[in-house]
Structure 1
Amino acid sequence: MVSGIFTCDSSRSERTTFEGLQSIELFAGAGGLGLGFSLSGVGHQAVVEWSKHACETLRTNKRHGVEPIAHWADVTEGDVRDFSFSGFDGLDLVTGGPPCQPFSMGGKHRGFLDDRDMFPQAVRAVREVKPRAFVFENVRGLTRAAFYNYFNYILLQLEFPSLQAKVGEEWLDHLARLEKNKTKGGKSEYHVVTRLVNAANYGVPQKRERVFIVGFRADVHRPWTFPAETHTQDALLYDQWVTGDYWERHKVSKRQRPEQPAKIEKKLAGLRESDLSKLLSPWQTVRDAIADLPDPEKKTSQSVQAHKFQPGAKSYPGHTGSPLDEPAKALKAGGHGVPGGENMLRRPDGSIRYFTVRECARIQTFPDDFIFDGTWGEVMRQLGNAVPVKLAQCVAGSVCELLRAT
């Protein structure tokens, strides 16, 4: 199936062979987006990242032969503004997550005034490489009202990348030229679509909203739509509070189960009368993600890399941790160390602790053999900035399916 609805297939997670498609991975971070594309059969001819810690993470995994990073090009450590795209003309894909801090809900919200805004470099990559397709992702904050005009500016630049800003031209003036070009019937160089998605709706055990911008070169003549959602909250509630299968699966006795929230009774009444054949898979919860890991407060397992208890977790208003039996709240990177309330587990009895690095990796759907080395705060920052691998793989699989058919 090339056009129409693409459904993510978890069986693809073992796939590491490359079937001809090649990409440049920009702003690679810890490699979440790049892993999603590699697991969909894409080889990375170049990998670019400025953070020395993230680069060391990628090098460590490559050095130890961790698949599929073992087959990636050596990471280029440095500012993408200094990277030359010469020799990559016509490559299949350009992918990446331009630094999100300028648009993050938890950041300083400077957007295009922030010198960390790398969308101009994403546009440059598309203009100079002329890939068959591109995929960029960013935080939900990019779609905020304060950035509405700039978001449209990004999209129009990606649609008409060759219509560059003139020397000294303000971005609003450039936006006006792009708008005039589009409305007078200028031929689109890329067909661009964007979608705000919740990772939990694609089987990631985390409520993480991300914006994806996907573009296909105008000569790629096939319809495409974002992959269909595969998981729902309704199915989880049904599993927990109608059939109880969720608790049975995790061997949670009735005495140990939390009380059913009173506020969902009306929803449950509707679910009891619904057509169960229309329910998708249940949202994945924190318990689903980490149940087979030893409790780091009670037992240290040398067989589980990066699974060490970290003391000092504190709960405060608005930052109370992630409930065990729901998808985690969005993991955050934090500008000054690990955010206290966001990256914590909250058990049914109300007790809390920090997630370990390995638990965060599970929540971000990184493979268990992926190596995280470095200080706790730095590794958690990498994970907080990462794209969930499973979500990336869903998008990559759909995009690559279309490219292979054209």
Structure 2
Amino acid sequence: MNRKNPPYLDFIHRELQLPQNQDNQLLVIDLFAGCGGFALGFEAAGFRTIGYEMEGDACATYRRNLRTDCHEMVLTPDTEFPENPVVIIGGPPCQPFSVSGHQRGLKDSRDGFPIFINAVKRYRPQIAIFENVRGMLFRNKTYFEEIAIALQTLDYFVEWDILTATDYGVPQRRQRLFCIAHQGGWKWPKKAYKSHPYTAGEALSELAFRASETAKFLTPSMDEYVKKYEKASKCVKPRDLHLDVPARTVTCRNLSAPTGDMLRIRLPDGRRRRLTVREGARLQSFPDWFEFQGTEKSQCQQIGNAVPPILAKALAMRVKECLEKRESASSENHPQPEQPIQLSFNFMKEFL
């Protein structure tokens, strides 16, 4: 047990409590909202969110747990929103990720980024944030450059970074790209847990060695398949869940599907079982009061696709500080803080 940290379940319960007073909360529009992981972090930081999501189960989860609505709908570049948001957030799906798929860039109708960029263009929020897989900076750097330039032409400063979830209190080695379009004064959240991250054991706690009547155990044939999988992939360490370190990245596939890469726990008697929905949710930093809707498979997909709420709150607190700093400077008629220099994309190509 890491004694530098408060108990994990107490930590996420405290950090993700929703404020009682909802008056004068700034509005955040949450596009491609999923089950509300991104929104939960922002609401815990004192914002009001409205979600937009096409999957019905995810919308139902969002509505059940957050103090706002989630509109079940397919977004288009022409979608209009009822109120002007101060912040826009989202995880746009990106179809042109493969070489074969990257044909029309921002003109690809299957892609969510034109929708996100058009919403920023129409409503001019003070800050816009999108999240995506880290590979976007490497396999699709040309397309990422296209997106960043589009945001820059709307008079935003654009910054990005790959954030590791363990650095912010999530017991999982998840890495994701976050890109921020802002008007000055942005600072990335501090890596408060970099040297002493929470572990999978701290997250699962009493659940780790339980085996309910509905537990899904690996069969002998599945054990043999996993053995061959690990040998073929040259795993130095078995890919069971090791409770003394943070977990591997939780994905839809390794949480819900019986694959060689599935997340599983080895019990003291040698049997191995797959993780439950609640265990996957804890590894993603959802508190136990957060209830998922839909089938087990749907719930696993919602969890795997979510932004970890604790990481989302770390970003939301920086958004809040940035907005307050600019509001204070404006109300006191002081000059705005010195603006960051926009990086040229020649530099960006060297960085990538």
Q: TM-score surpassing 0.5?
A: yes
- Determine whether 1:231 maps to 2:193: yes
Instruction: Supply the distance in 2 between the matched residues of 1:392 and 1:356 (Cα, whole angstroms).
Output: 23
Q: Given that residues 332 and 339 in structure 1 are in contact (C-alpha distance below 8 angstroms), is that contact kept between their aligned partners in structure 2?
A: no
Specify the SS of the correspondent of 1:334.
helix
Specify the SS of the correspondent of 1:381.
helix
Which residue does 2:250 correspond to in 1? 331
Q: Given that residues 255 and 263 in structure 2 are in contact (C-alpha distance below 8 angstroms), is that contact kept between their aligned partners in structure 1?
A: no
Which residue does 1:57 correspond to in 2? 61
Instruction: Supply the distance in 2 between the matched residues of 1:88 and 1:203 (Cα, whole angstroms).
Output: 33
The percentage of aligned residue pairs carrying the same residue is: 33
CA shift digits 1:348-376 (9 cap, x unpaired): 87753211000000000112111123222
Q: Given that residues 321 and 329 in structure 1 are in contact (C-alpha distance below 8 angstroms), is that contact kept between their aligned partners in structure 2?
A: no
**What does 1:118-267 correspond to in 2, within 5 Å?**
118-144=112-138, 146-161=139-154, 189-217=155-183, 221=184, 223-232=185-194
Per mean C-alpha deviation after superposition, the further-off stretch among 320-329 and 10-19 is 10-19
Shift of 1:127: 0.3
Shift in alpha-carbon separation, 1:332–1:324, aligned structure 2, 3 A: same
Shift of 1:214: 0.9
Shift of 1:108: 8.8
From the CA coordinates, give the structure whose radius of gyration is larger: 1
Which residue does 1:85 correspond to in 2? 80
CA shift digits 1:150-180 (9 cap, x unpaired): 111111111114xxxxxxxxxxxxxxxxxxx
Q: Given that residues 32 and 386 in structure 1 are in contact (C-alpha distance below 8 angstroms), is that contact kept between their aligned partners in structure 2?
A: yes
Which residue does 1:371 correspond to in 2? 291
Q: Given that residues 53 and 71 in structure 2 are in contact (C-alpha distance below 8 angstroms), is that contact kept between their aligned partners in structure 1?
A: yes
Shift of 1:24: 0.7
Shift of 1:13: 2.8
Instruction: Supply the distance in 1 between the matched residues of 2:56 and 2:73 (Cα, whole angstroms).
Output: 8
**What does 1:93-112 correspond to in 2, within 5 Å?**
93-99=87-93, 103=97, 110=101
Specify the SS of the correspondent of 1:224.
coil
- 1:391 alignment partner AA: L
**What does 1:301-380 correspond to in 2, within 5 Å?**
309-312=215-218, 314=222, 315=226, 316-317=229-230, 318=233, 320-334=239-253, 338=257, 340-347=259-266, 351-380=271-300
Instruction: Supply the distance in 2 between the matched residues of 1:352 and 1:52 (Cα, whole angstroms).
Output: 33
Q: Given that residues 77 and 119 in structure 2 are in contact (C-alpha distance below 8 angstroms), is that contact kept between their aligned partners in structure 1?
A: no
Instruction: Supply the distance in 1 between the matched residues of 2:254 and 2:198 (Cα, whole angstroms).
Output: 28
Shift of 1:345: 2.7
- What are structure 2's unaligned runs of at least 5 residues? 1-10, 328-352
- TM-score normalised by length of structure 1: 0.66
- 1:20 alignment partner AA: Q
- 1:21 alignment partner AA: L
Instruction: Supply the distance in 1 between the matched residues of 2:99 and 2:37 (Cα, whole angstroms).
Output: 24
**What does 1:266-305 correspond to in 2, within 5 Å?**
280=195, 282-293=196-207, 295-297=209-211, 299=212
CA shift digits 1:251-302 (9 cap, x unpaired): xxxxxxxxxxxxxxxxxxxxxxxxxxxxx4x1111101011236441x46xx
Instruction: Supply the distance in 1 between the matched residues of 2:100 and 2:161 (Cα, whole angstroms).
Output: 21
Shift in alpha-carbon separation, 1:124–1:99, aligned structure 2, 3 A: same
- 2:241 alignment partner AA: S
Instruction: Supply the distance in 1 between the matched residues of 2:76 and 2:275 (Cα, whole angstroms).
Output: 35
Q: Given that residues 137 and 213 in structure 1 are in contact (C-alpha distance below 8 angstroms), is that contact kept between their aligned partners in structure 2?
A: yes
Which residue does 2:5 correspond to in 1? none
Instruction: Supply the distance in 2 between the matched residues of 1:396 and 1:382 (Cα, whole angstroms).
Output: 21
Shift in alpha-carbon separation, 1:36–1:285, aligned structure 2, 3 A: same
- 1:323 alignment partner AA: H
Shift of 1:321: 3.5
Which residue does 2:38 correspond to in 1? 33
Instruction: Supply the distance in 2 between the matched residues of 1:32 and 1:95 (Cα, whole angstroms).
Output: 11
Q: Given that residues 331 and 342 in structure 1 are in contact (C-alpha distance below 8 angstroms), is that contact kept between their aligned partners in structure 2?
A: no
Instruction: Supply the distance in 1 between the matched residues of 2:243 and 2:293 (Cα, whole angstroms).
Output: 26
Shift in alpha-carbon separation, 1:289–1:404, aligned structure 2, 3 A: same
Instruction: Supply the distance in 2 between the matched residues of 1:321 and 1:26 (Cα, whole angstroms).
Output: 35
Q: Given that residues 29 and 89 in structure 2 are in contact (C-alpha distance below 8 angstroms), is that contact kept between their aligned partners in structure 1?
A: yes
- TM-score normalised by length of structure 2: 0.76
Shift of 1:39: 0.6
- 2:174 alignment partner AA: R
Instruction: Supply the distance in 2 between the matched residues of 1:50 and 1:112 (Cα, whole angstroms).
Output: 25
Matched positions, count: 296
Shift in alpha-carbon separation, 1:206–1:351, aligned structure 2, 3 A: farther
- 1:152 alignment partner AA: E
Shift in alpha-carbon separation, 1:381–1:331, aligned structure 2, 3 A: same
- 1:310 alignment partner AA: K
Specify the SS of the correspondent of 2:158.
strand
Which residue does 2:349 correspond to in 1? none
Shift of 1:134: 0.9
Shift of 1:337: 5.7
Shift in alpha-carbon separation, 1:52–1:102, aligned structure 2, 3 A: farther
Specify the SS of the correspondent of 2:298.
helix
Q: Given that residues 255 and 304 in structure 2 are in contact (C-alpha distance below 8 angstroms), is that contact kept between their aligned partners in structure 1?
A: no
- What are structure 1's unaligned runs of at least 5 residues? 1-8, 162-188, 233-279, 301-307
Specify the SS of the correspondent of 1:212.
strand
Instruction: Supply the distance in 2 between the matched residues of 1:202 and 1:109 (Cα, whole angstroms).
Output: 36
